Amino acid sequence: MEELLRDHAVFVEPLGSEGSDTMSLKSRVSELESEMEILREQLSKAKGVNDSMWDIVVQRLIKPSNSEPNEKDGEEEPKKKRGRT
């Protein structure tokens, strides 16, 4: 919470006040850019995990059930109609 208040103060302080000089602003920008890079890397890893999990679900759960028709005495089972209940 303290960090959030400090960050907020950087944006709401007038430009002429102390603490918002050029060097501190450049330093803060640099910190934020490095944090953004870390977050992008984490997002990329999370997306990779999500994509892998999705592929596994599709391959293991959906494809096998769709590729094997339900046969009863050599004939396919009729599809059920979706109607009002």
Q: Give pLDDT, residue 43.
A: 98
Contact 77, 70 (CB under 8 A): yes
pTM: 0.47
Whether the per-residue pLDDT at 68 is higher than 60: the answer is: no
Whether the per-residue pLDDT at 69 is higher than 60: the answer is: no
Q: Where are the domains of the chain?
A: 21-65
Q: Give pLDDT, residue 24.
A: 87
Handedness of CA 34, 35, 38, 40 (dihedral sign): negative
Over the range 45-61, which residues count as b (16 or more CB within 10 Å of their CB) and which as e? eeeeeeeeeeeeeeeee
Q: Which of 25, 28, 2 is nearest to 15 (CA)?
A: 25
pLDDT in tens, 6-51: 887 777 776 555 555 888 899 999 999 999 999 999 999 999 999 9
Q: Give pLDDT, residue 85.
A: 53
